[in-house]
Amino acid sequence: MIKTTALRLSVSLIGLLSATGLAHAEKLIIGHFGIPLPMMTEVGTGAYDEAMGYEIEWRKFGSGTEVIAAMASGDVKLAALGSSPFAIGASQGVPAQLFMLSGVIGTAESLIARDGAGIESLEDLKGKRVAVPVGSTAHFSLVGALAHAGIAEGDLTILNMPPDQIVAAWSQDAIDAAFIWDPAQSSLLENGTRIVGADETAKWGYPTFDGWVVNKDFAAEHPEAVAGFVKVTTAADAAYLADPAAWTAESAPVMTIAEATGADPAQVPAILAGYTFMPAADQAGPDWLGGGLASSVKATAEFLKAAGRIDTVAEDYSAFITLAPVEAAISE
């Protein structure tokens, strides 16, 4: 378990720590996927280090299954995770709790067909090579889309690839389509066509979201650190929600996001528009962290079990969701 120094114990973790305090703070690894989000404007500023009382190491992962393994090992205490891999991890008993939504996924994840591959509809996927990070929200959406169209998974070849490998395989015409998120999605769209987005699969009964999860013991022992993460993240989201139109390709926040993620600044505004970001107070409501998410996660787990992705479904997933960090951040 990561422990803090005596100096950290004497300073409010929600307030600003002195430079000396940060120099002696313990390191905390936070997992992410390199997705262009408003919170990325603060990753390089030290705001998270100061609010949480740790020296933050931002570690990029290629899929939710990688995050689950890292959290199960205890190496990573806090990380981004999509709704589908979260349902998988919770069903397997990984000691992690969802404490915040990053964003409800819309066109930020889509099935893109390569131009010239002969794919104009879901039915055209039969006999094609489709890449997706298996176990991810994109995979869940792909399987849901196939089920909606009445297509068996065996009717096509599903290839398990992380985003960077998908982009490389795409450039070599080694795959015909991919269900993936940004910034890889934007790269594929340069010579590809969107067939269906996660916004549509949600309407078909397969909703997805990205969230933040934390090791259960770490959350219990360091609630102020997790609340600090929520405060910085929701402040960044609020800055975007206040005037999304101002976040143009040439704007300072978009340029910062592009630098932090490697995304093309010209693509970032559209990527941001592909998500629905919610204020902390809304997340605490009954439809989300305040109750509704537990039912949604269970429904996702039941679908995954029927699809042969997991063996068991928990009776209740509320123990894997905590409202405390968001409530603490709101009360400050």
Residue-level pLDDT, tens digit, the chain, 332 residues: 333 333 333 333 334 333 334 444 799 999 999 999 999 999 999 999 999 999 999 999 999 999 999 999 999 999 999 999 999 999 999 999 999 999 999 999 999 999 999 999 999 999 999 999 998 999 999 999 999 999 999 999 999 999 999 999 999 999 999 999 989 999 999 999 999 999 999 999 899 999 999 999 999 999 999 999 999 999 999 999 999 999 999 999 999 999 999 999 999 999 999 999 999 999 999 989 999 899 999 999 998 998 888 999 999 999 999 999 999 999 87
For residues 108 and 73, what is the distance between their CA atoms, to the nearest angstrom? 30
**126 touches 156 (CB < 8 A):** yes
Instruction: Tell me the backbone φ, ψ of residue 158, rounded to 5 degrees.
Output: -95, 120
The single residue listed with the structure tokens 């109750």 is 291
User: Over the stretch 7-48, which tens digit does the pLDDT of each residue have?
Assistant: 333 333 334 333 334 444 799 999 999 999 999 999 999 999
Q: Whole-model pTM?
A: 0.83
- Cβ neighbours for 198, distance < 8 A, ≥ 6 positions apart: 105, 106, 107, 108, 109, 110, 137, 138, 141, 208
Instruction: Tell me the backbone φ, ψ of residue 200, rounded to 5 degrees.
Output: -75, -40
> Collapsing DSSP states into helix, strand and coil, what is residue 113?
strand
- Cβ neighbours for 144, distance < 8 A, ≥ 6 positions apart: 201, 204, 205, 206, 303
Specify the length of the chain in residues. 332
Residue 308: per-residue pLDDT: 87
Residue 332: per-residue pLDDT: 72
- The structure tokens listed for 169 are 């395989």
Instruction: Tell me the backbone φ, ψ of residue 198, rounded to 5 degrees.
Output: -65, -20
Calculate helix-pair angle for 292-306, 83-91, nearest 10 degrees: 80
Residue 135: per-residue pLDDT: 86
